[in-house]
Chains A and B, each alone.
Chain A
């Protein structure tokens, strides 16, 4: 299955980006083959609606789960409507996050864990 991990860089040893909507990039990885690609997130500096636009990016990439630090209510609503599983509170490197996911050690988020505009720094 394909999963999306928010990442500060384009490699698997990059740190997980704590923000969903304004993550530096998304690493889309196939957990069966470990093939992955990194998508630069154009919504980093969006005026608003970054979470929703980022949800659209991972939906279009075909991800079935999202691993991130924090996710706000609008992005959560979009991901949930697209039946994408959401895991928040994830830290460490992207590779570590993927291992935790594969070993079933992550717990699915029950909803958004931060308010809107959490990742804007204001």
Chain B
């Protein structure tokens, strides 16, 4: 099973939920894999403290133009939807590697075979062990912007025999879509504030559009107002966990600790969370079979 932990708003506690859920399920004796798909700013390693055993570079293909072969027809620039390759005049062609989406269109339309693919290193994937948890995270290289491409590569390493927990980037844009794609269940983490509610609504719109089963987690429960709960009730969305606004959680977080280790009373909350996800998922599967 693949569980994606996402949120519209940043800083609501995705990584707190994802890492603690991973630890709780691993302690129940289940095989768990944690994949940090927030490749622009991965931070799950701060809490899980994995022993990194392997690093793999990730490249994408960008065009390289042989100007001697170029006939100046301009077809490469016409097909590119992102202005990553532009024909100026005669055989003067410029490429903008950071804008390239690696579709390969320019290579195919070039009648002079003047364009060749060139690998561009966009980041790395690191693999390790955090106790019994299999740890994977992507790290986008500074200055690179091909976030979805790297997330796609990270997800190729999902191990089907594990419970895979995916830590998703915040927001509702392309990297989020790439990260939650194919998930069996999405946990939307929010906080009970007007900002939290606004961005939760956007995230709910996204998972509904993608037809993914989901439930809401309210973190820092007790601050703000009751509007998130009211919204969930009206929309018939299950609130699967309310994590209280507990100063001790913030203290554990700020020193890079897993909540389960620092505050054992929360262990049960996370074990229950997993059981609830399983039963909701089983209910959905039953309905789909009928």
Contact = CB atoms under 8 A, between A and B. Distances in A.
A89 interface: no
A78 B77 CA distance: 13
Interface in A25-41: none
B10 to A, nearest CB: 16
A47 B145 CA distance: 14
B84 A49 contact: yes
A108 B90 CA distance: 25
A72 to B, nearest CB: 12
A46 B77 CA distance: 15
A47 B94 CA distance: 20
A55 B82 contact: no
Instruction: Name the prevailing secondary structure of the A interface residues.
Output: helix
Interface in A49-86: 49-53, 55-56, 59, 74, 77-78, 81-82
A51 B89 CA distance: 17
Nearest to A50: B83
B89 A82 contact: yes
Nearest to B88: A82
A49 B99 contact: yes
A81 B83 contact: no
B77 A49 contact: no
B99 A78 contact: no
B94 to A, nearest CB: 5
A74 B94 CA distance: 10
Given A53-B83, A56-B86, A81 B94 contact: yes
Contacts of A50: 83
A49 B82 contact: yes
Nearest to A73: B96
B279 interface: no
B70 to A, nearest CB: 14
Interface string B70-88: 0000000100001110111
Interface string B86-120: 11110010101001000000000000000000000
Contacts of A81: 88, 92, 94
A74 B92 contact: no
Contacts of A49: 82-84, 96, 99
A10 to B, nearest CB: 25
Contacts of A47: 82
Contacts of B92: 81-82
Contacts of B87: 56
A111 interface: no
B100 to A, nearest CB: 10
Contacts of A74: 83, 96, 99
A34 B82 CA distance: 35
A92 interface: no
Interface string B228-248: 000000000000000000000
23 contacts: A46-B83, A48-B82, A49-B82, A49-B96, A50-B83, A51-B83, A52-B86, A52-B94, A52-B96, A52-B99, A53-B86, A56-B83, A56-B86, A56-B87, A59-B89, A74-B96, A77-B96, A78-B86, A78-B94, A81-B92, A81-B94, A82-B88, A82-B92
Interface of B: 77, 82-84, 86-89, 92, 94, 96, 99
Top 3 nearest A-B pairs by Cβ distance?
Answer: A49-B83, A52-B83, A82-B88
Given A48-B82, A50-B83, A55-B86, 5 more contacts: A49-B96, A53-B83, A56-B88, A77-B94, A78-B94
